[in-house]
Structure 1
Amino acid sequence: MRLSNRKKAPVYNFFNTLLLIMLSAGITGFILDKMRFNILEGKSYLLIIIPLVLLIIFYLNGRQIFEYDSDGEALHFKNRNIIPFLNKPLSDEFPKYKLIKYEVVSVLFLRRLYVTISSKNSGSTILTYETSYLTRKEANDLKISLNKVVNANKEKRH
Protein backbone atom coordinates (compact mmCIF):
# COMPACT_ATOMS: atom_id res chain seq x y z
CA MET A 1 0.00 0.00 0.00
CA ARG A 2 1.20 3.48 -0.79
CA LEU A 3 0.22 6.52 1.21
CA SER A 4 1.34 10.07 0.57
CA ASN A 5 0.11 13.58 1.27
CA ARG A 6 2.73 15.10 -1.05
CA LYS A 7 -0.01 16.57 -3.27
CA LYS A 8 -1.03 18.83 -0.39
CA ALA A 9 2.37 20.57 -0.31
CA PRO A 10 1.06 23.66 -2.20
CA VAL A 11 -1.70 24.05 0.41
CA TYR A 12 0.85 23.89 3.25
CA ASN A 13 3.08 26.37 1.41
CA PHE A 14 0.09 28.70 1.02
CA PHE A 15 -0.73 28.57 4.75
CA ASN A 16 2.93 29.10 5.65
CA THR A 17 3.15 32.12 3.34
CA LEU A 18 -0.17 33.48 4.59
CA LEU A 19 0.96 33.23 8.22
CA LEU A 20 4.27 34.95 7.43
CA ILE A 21 2.41 37.77 5.62
CA MET A 22 0.02 38.09 8.57
CA LEU A 23 2.99 38.32 10.94
CA SER A 24 4.69 40.96 8.75
CA ALA A 25 1.47 42.96 8.51
CA GLY A 26 0.99 42.63 12.27
CA ILE A 27 4.49 43.94 12.98
CA THR A 28 3.94 46.83 10.57
CA GLY A 29 0.55 47.61 12.12
CA PHE A 30 2.05 47.43 15.62
CA ILE A 31 4.84 49.86 14.70
CA LEU A 32 2.42 52.26 12.99
CA ASP A 33 0.04 52.12 15.94
CA LYS A 34 2.78 52.79 18.49
CA MET A 35 4.53 55.52 16.50
CA ARG A 36 1.68 57.38 14.88
CA PHE A 37 -1.95 56.42 15.54
CA ASN A 38 -2.25 54.85 19.04
CA ILE A 39 -5.77 53.64 18.25
CA LEU A 40 -5.49 50.18 19.77
CA GLU A 41 -3.57 51.24 22.89
CA GLY A 42 -2.61 48.10 24.86
CA LYS A 43 -4.30 45.73 22.39
CA SER A 44 -1.77 46.48 19.66
CA TYR A 45 0.42 43.60 20.91
CA LEU A 46 -2.26 41.20 19.62
CA LEU A 47 -1.26 42.21 16.08
CA ILE A 48 2.01 40.36 16.65
CA ILE A 49 0.99 37.72 19.19
CA ILE A 50 -1.89 36.09 17.26
CA PRO A 51 -0.01 35.47 13.97
CA LEU A 52 3.08 34.41 15.91
CA VAL A 53 1.12 31.83 17.93
CA LEU A 54 -0.51 30.47 14.75
CA LEU A 55 2.90 30.20 13.07
CA ILE A 56 4.37 28.40 16.08
CA ILE A 57 1.46 25.92 16.10
CA PHE A 58 1.99 25.31 12.38
CA TYR A 59 5.67 24.50 12.94
CA LEU A 60 5.14 22.51 16.16
CA ASN A 61 2.78 20.18 14.30
CA GLY A 62 5.92 18.79 12.74
CA ARG A 63 6.91 17.74 9.28
CA GLN A 64 4.05 18.26 6.84
CA ILE A 65 4.79 15.67 4.15
CA PHE A 66 4.50 11.98 5.08
CA GLU A 67 5.00 9.12 2.62
CA TYR A 68 4.62 5.41 3.29
CA ASP A 69 5.09 2.44 0.99
CA SER A 70 4.59 -1.19 1.98
CA ASP A 71 4.71 -2.71 -1.52
CA GLY A 72 7.30 -5.44 -1.89
CA GLU A 73 9.43 -6.88 0.88
CA ALA A 74 10.36 -3.58 2.55
CA LEU A 75 8.65 -0.73 4.35
CA HIS A 76 9.53 2.81 3.28
CA PHE A 77 8.84 5.81 5.52
CA LYS A 78 9.58 9.40 4.48
CA ASN A 79 8.79 12.46 6.54
CA ARG A 80 9.86 15.96 5.48
CA ASN A 81 9.05 19.61 5.99
CA ILE A 82 7.86 21.92 3.21
CA ILE A 83 10.66 24.30 4.15
CA PRO A 84 13.83 22.30 3.36
CA PHE A 85 16.23 24.02 5.78
CA LEU A 86 13.89 23.90 8.81
CA ASN A 87 14.15 20.19 9.69
CA LYS A 88 16.25 17.37 8.37
CA PRO A 89 14.05 15.03 6.31
CA LEU A 90 13.59 11.51 7.63
CA SER A 91 13.84 8.56 5.29
CA ASP A 92 13.88 4.97 6.51
CA GLU A 93 13.67 1.68 4.68
CA PHE A 94 13.77 -1.74 6.33
CA PRO A 95 12.47 -5.26 5.66
CA LYS A 96 8.92 -6.01 6.75
CA TYR A 97 10.02 -8.86 9.02
CA LYS A 98 11.87 -6.37 11.27
CA LEU A 99 8.65 -4.55 12.27
CA ILE A 100 7.77 -5.55 15.84
CA LYS A 101 5.02 -3.09 16.74
CA TYR A 102 3.81 0.45 16.19
CA GLU A 103 1.92 3.03 18.20
CA VAL A 104 0.09 6.20 17.20
CA VAL A 105 0.05 8.87 19.91
CA SER A 106 -2.32 11.83 19.63
CA VAL A 107 -2.11 14.83 21.95
CA LEU A 108 -4.30 17.82 21.13
CA PHE A 109 -3.31 18.73 17.57
CA LEU A 110 -0.12 16.63 17.48
CA ARG A 111 0.01 13.07 16.16
CA ARG A 112 3.11 10.90 16.15
CA LEU A 113 3.79 7.41 14.84
CA TYR A 114 6.27 5.31 16.82
CA VAL A 115 7.55 2.26 14.95
CA THR A 116 9.55 -0.38 16.82
CA ILE A 117 11.86 -2.50 14.69
CA SER A 118 14.24 -5.29 15.62
CA SER A 119 17.91 -4.44 15.58
CA LYS A 120 21.05 -6.58 15.78
CA ASN A 121 22.90 -4.28 18.16
CA SER A 122 20.38 -3.11 20.74
CA GLY A 123 17.52 -5.59 20.30
CA SER A 124 15.02 -3.00 19.11
CA THR A 125 14.95 0.56 17.82
CA ILE A 126 12.10 3.06 17.93
CA LEU A 127 11.62 5.32 14.91
CA THR A 128 9.43 8.43 15.20
CA TYR A 129 7.40 10.04 12.42
CA GLU A 130 5.11 13.05 12.57
CA THR A 131 1.68 12.33 11.08
CA SER A 132 -0.27 15.38 12.25
CA TYR A 133 -1.09 16.47 8.71
CA LEU A 134 -2.62 13.15 7.61
CA THR A 135 -6.39 13.01 7.28
CA ARG A 136 -8.34 10.60 9.47
CA LYS A 137 -8.84 8.24 6.52
CA GLU A 138 -5.14 8.28 5.65
CA ALA A 139 -4.23 7.60 9.30
CA ASN A 140 -6.69 4.68 9.45
CA ASP A 141 -5.33 3.23 6.19
CA LEU A 142 -1.82 3.47 7.63
CA LYS A 143 -2.90 1.64 10.79
CA ILE A 144 -4.60 -1.12 8.76
CA SER A 145 -1.49 -1.64 6.64
CA LEU A 146 0.84 -1.70 9.65
CA ASN A 147 -1.52 -4.10 11.47
CA LYS A 148 -1.31 -6.52 8.55
CA VAL A 149 2.48 -6.48 8.65
CA VAL A 150 2.64 -6.87 12.45
CA ASN A 151 0.13 -9.75 12.42
CA ALA A 152 1.99 -11.51 9.59
CA ASN A 153 5.24 -11.17 11.56
CA LYS A 154 3.61 -12.60 14.71
CA GLU A 155 2.34 -15.62 12.78
CA LYS A 156 5.81 -16.29 11.33
CA ARG A 157 7.41 -16.16 14.79
CA HIS A 158 4.97 -18.63 16.34
Structure 2
Amino acid sequence: MRLSNRNKVSIYNSLCTLLLMTTVFCVIAFVANEYRFNAMGKESYLLIIVPALLLIIFYISGRQIFEYDSDGEALNFKNRNIIPFLDKPLHDEFPKYKLIKYDVVSILFFKRLYITVSSKNNGSTILKYQISYLNRKQVNDLKLSLNKVVKANKDKINDDRRIFA
Protein backbone atom coordinates (compact mmCIF):
# COMPACT_ATOMS: atom_id res chain seq x y z
CA MET A 1 0.00 0.00 0.00
CA ARG A 2 1.20 3.48 -0.79
CA LEU A 3 0.19 6.57 1.13
CA SER A 4 1.33 10.11 0.43
CA ASN A 5 0.18 13.68 0.88
CA ARG A 6 2.78 15.01 -1.55
CA ASN A 7 0.02 16.42 -3.77
CA LYS A 8 -0.76 19.02 -1.07
CA VAL A 9 2.66 20.70 -1.18
CA SER A 10 1.25 23.73 -3.01
CA ILE A 11 -1.46 24.14 -0.36
CA TYR A 12 1.10 24.01 2.47
CA ASN A 13 3.39 26.44 0.64
CA SER A 14 0.50 28.85 0.14
CA LEU A 15 -0.53 28.56 3.78
CA CYS A 16 3.04 29.15 4.95
CA THR A 17 3.41 32.19 2.68
CA LEU A 18 0.05 33.57 3.82
CA LEU A 19 1.01 33.17 7.49
CA LEU A 20 4.38 34.85 6.96
CA MET A 21 2.85 37.76 5.03
CA THR A 22 0.12 38.18 7.64
CA THR A 23 2.69 38.22 10.43
CA VAL A 24 4.83 40.83 8.65
CA PHE A 25 1.80 42.99 7.84
CA CYS A 26 0.56 42.80 11.44
CA VAL A 27 3.98 43.74 12.83
CA ILE A 28 4.06 46.77 10.50
CA ALA A 29 0.51 47.70 11.58
CA PHE A 30 1.51 47.32 15.24
CA VAL A 31 4.56 49.55 14.84
CA ALA A 32 2.53 52.14 12.91
CA ASN A 33 -0.15 52.10 15.60
CA GLU A 34 2.32 52.40 18.48
CA TYR A 35 4.46 55.19 17.06
CA ARG A 36 2.11 57.11 14.80
CA PHE A 37 -1.63 56.58 15.18
CA ASN A 38 -2.12 55.16 18.69
CA ALA A 39 -5.71 54.21 17.80
CA MET A 40 -6.02 50.70 19.20
CA GLY A 41 -4.59 50.90 22.71
CA LYS A 42 -3.73 47.60 24.42
CA GLU A 43 -5.57 45.56 21.77
CA SER A 44 -2.75 46.36 19.34
CA TYR A 45 -0.66 43.57 20.94
CA LEU A 46 -3.10 41.09 19.42
CA LEU A 47 -1.73 42.18 16.04
CA ILE A 48 1.52 40.47 16.97
CA ILE A 49 0.32 37.66 19.22
CA VAL A 50 -2.35 36.05 17.00
CA PRO A 51 -0.40 35.71 13.70
CA ALA A 52 2.79 34.73 15.54
CA LEU A 53 0.88 32.05 17.45
CA LEU A 54 -0.62 30.68 14.22
CA LEU A 55 2.81 30.61 12.58
CA ILE A 56 4.31 28.81 15.59
CA ILE A 57 1.51 26.21 15.56
CA PHE A 58 2.09 25.61 11.84
CA TYR A 59 5.78 24.85 12.40
CA ILE A 60 5.36 22.93 15.68
CA SER A 61 2.85 20.62 13.98
CA GLY A 62 5.82 19.02 12.31
CA ARG A 63 6.97 17.98 8.91
CA GLN A 64 4.19 18.45 6.39
CA ILE A 65 4.92 15.73 3.83
CA PHE A 66 4.59 12.07 4.82
CA GLU A 67 5.05 9.15 2.44
CA TYR A 68 4.58 5.47 3.23
CA ASP A 69 5.11 2.44 1.02
CA SER A 70 4.54 -1.15 2.10
CA ASP A 71 4.72 -2.78 -1.33
CA GLY A 72 7.23 -5.60 -1.57
CA GLU A 73 9.27 -6.96 1.33
CA ALA A 74 10.21 -3.63 2.88
CA LEU A 75 8.49 -0.75 4.64
CA ASN A 76 9.49 2.69 3.44
CA PHE A 77 8.81 5.87 5.46
CA LYS A 78 9.63 9.43 4.36
CA ASN A 79 8.86 12.56 6.33
CA ARG A 80 9.99 16.01 5.21
CA ASN A 81 9.25 19.70 5.59
CA ILE A 82 8.14 21.89 2.69
CA ILE A 83 10.94 24.32 3.56
CA PRO A 84 14.07 22.19 3.17
CA PHE A 85 16.41 24.07 5.50
CA LEU A 86 14.12 23.96 8.57
CA ASP A 87 14.34 20.25 9.35
CA LYS A 88 16.38 17.36 8.16
CA PRO A 89 14.16 15.02 6.14
CA LEU A 90 13.62 11.54 7.55
CA HIS A 91 13.89 8.47 5.36
CA ASP A 92 13.80 4.93 6.74
CA GLU A 93 13.52 1.64 4.94
CA PHE A 94 13.58 -1.75 6.66
CA PRO A 95 12.24 -5.28 6.07
CA LYS A 96 8.66 -5.93 7.15
CA TYR A 97 9.67 -8.71 9.54
CA LYS A 98 11.54 -6.19 11.71
CA LEU A 99 8.37 -4.26 12.59
CA ILE A 100 7.43 -5.11 16.20
CA LYS A 101 4.66 -2.61 16.92
CA TYR A 102 3.49 0.89 16.19
CA ASP A 103 1.57 3.59 18.03
CA VAL A 104 -0.25 6.69 16.80
CA VAL A 105 -0.39 9.45 19.41
CA SER A 106 -2.84 12.28 18.86
CA ILE A 107 -2.88 15.32 21.16
CA LEU A 108 -5.05 18.25 20.07
CA PHE A 109 -3.91 18.86 16.48
CA PHE A 110 -0.54 17.09 16.83
CA LYS A 111 -0.21 13.51 15.57
CA ARG A 112 2.87 11.36 15.87
CA LEU A 113 3.62 7.86 14.61
CA TYR A 114 5.99 5.75 16.71
CA ILE A 115 7.37 2.63 15.03
CA THR A 116 9.23 0.00 17.07
CA VAL A 117 11.69 -1.97 14.96
CA SER A 118 13.82 -4.92 16.06
CA SER A 119 17.53 -4.24 16.00
CA LYS A 120 20.60 -6.46 16.39
CA ASN A 121 22.49 -4.03 18.61
CA ASN A 122 19.89 -2.62 21.01
CA GLY A 123 17.06 -5.13 20.78
CA SER A 124 14.65 -2.52 19.43
CA THR A 125 14.64 1.00 18.07
CA ILE A 126 11.82 3.53 18.06
CA LEU A 127 11.39 5.63 14.92
CA LYS A 128 9.30 8.82 15.16
CA TYR A 129 7.32 10.45 12.36
CA GLN A 130 5.11 13.52 12.34
CA ILE A 131 1.75 12.83 10.70
CA SER A 132 -0.21 15.90 11.79
CA TYR A 133 -1.00 16.84 8.21
CA LEU A 134 -2.61 13.52 7.28
CA ASN A 135 -6.39 13.43 7.26
CA ARG A 136 -8.40 10.87 9.24
CA LYS A 137 -8.86 8.51 6.28
CA GLN A 138 -5.13 8.47 5.56
CA VAL A 139 -4.32 7.77 9.22
CA ASN A 140 -6.86 4.93 9.29
CA ASP A 141 -5.41 3.45 6.08
CA LEU A 142 -1.92 3.67 7.58
CA LYS A 143 -3.09 1.93 10.76
CA LEU A 144 -4.80 -0.80 8.74
CA SER A 145 -1.67 -1.46 6.69
CA LEU A 146 0.61 -1.50 9.75
CA ASN A 147 -1.85 -3.78 11.59
CA LYS A 148 -1.59 -6.30 8.75
CA VAL A 149 2.20 -6.31 8.95
CA VAL A 150 2.28 -6.59 12.76
CA LYS A 151 -0.30 -9.40 12.70
CA ALA A 152 1.63 -11.29 10.01
CA ASN A 153 4.82 -10.94 12.06
CA LYS A 154 3.12 -12.21 15.24
CA ASP A 155 1.60 -15.15 13.36
CA LYS A 156 5.00 -16.04 11.95
CA ILE A 157 6.60 -15.88 15.42
CA ASN A 158 3.85 -18.08 16.86
CA ASP A 159 4.24 -20.58 14.01
CA ASP A 160 8.01 -20.68 14.58
CA ARG A 161 7.49 -21.30 18.31
CA ARG A 162 5.12 -24.17 17.59
CA ILE A 163 7.61 -25.75 15.21
CA PHE A 164 10.51 -25.58 17.67
CA ALA A 165 8.46 -26.55 20.74
Partner of 2:33, secondary structure, is helix
SS in 1 for 2:66: strand
The answer as to 2:160 corresponding to 1:151 is no
Note if 1:73 corresponds to 2:73: yes
Corresponding residue for 2:32?
32
Report the AA paired with residue 47 of structure 2: L
Letter in 2 for 1:97: Y
**Matched residues in 1 for 2:122 and 2:49: separation?**
45
Gaps spanning 5+ residues in structure 2: where? Answer: 159-165
Residue in structure 2 matched with residue 13 of structure 1 by the alignment: 13
Distance 1:133 1:74 in 2: 24
The SS at the match of 1:132 is coil
Quote the residue 1:44 is aligned against: 44
1:131 aligns to what? 131
CA-CA distance at 1:42 after TM superposition? 1.1
Q: How do 1:101-112 residues align onto structure 2 when only pairs under 5 Å count? A: 101-112=101-112
Structure 2 CA distance for aligned equivalents of residues 96 and 118 of structure 1? 10
Quote the Cα distance in structure 2 between the aligned partners of 1:24 and 1:106. Answer: 31
2:62 alignment partner AA: G
Matches within 5 A, 1:85-96: 85-96=85-96
User: Which runs of 5 or more structure 1 residues have no equivalent in the other structure?
Assistant: none
Paired residue secondary structure (2:39): coil
The alpha carbon displacement at 1:81 in A equals 0.4
Query: What is the TM-score with the length of structure 2 in the denominator?
Result: 0.95
Q: Give the superposition deviation at 1:16.
A: 0.4
Structure 2: how far apart are the matches of 1:107 and 1:157? 33
Matched residue type, 2:102: Y
Could you say what secondary structure the match of 1:93 adopts?
A: strand
Q: Which protein shows a greater Rg?
A: 2
| RMSD across aligned positions (CA) | 0.4
Query: Which residue matches 1:116?
Result: 116
Runs of 4 or more, structure 1, over 3 Å off, are none
C-alpha distance in 2 between matches for 1:92 and 1:117? 11
Q: In structure 1, what is the Cα distance between the partners aligned to 2:45 and 2:26?
A: 9
Secondary structure at the aligned position of 2:35 is classed as helix
Report the Cα distance in structure 2 between the residues aligned to 1:31 and 1:122, rounded to whole angstroms. Answer: 55
The CA distance in 2 between the partners of 1:7 and 1:48, in whole Å, is 32
TM-score, normalised on structure 1? 0.99
CA separation in 1, counterparts of 2:36 and 2:116?
58
What residue identity is the alignment partner of 1:114? Y
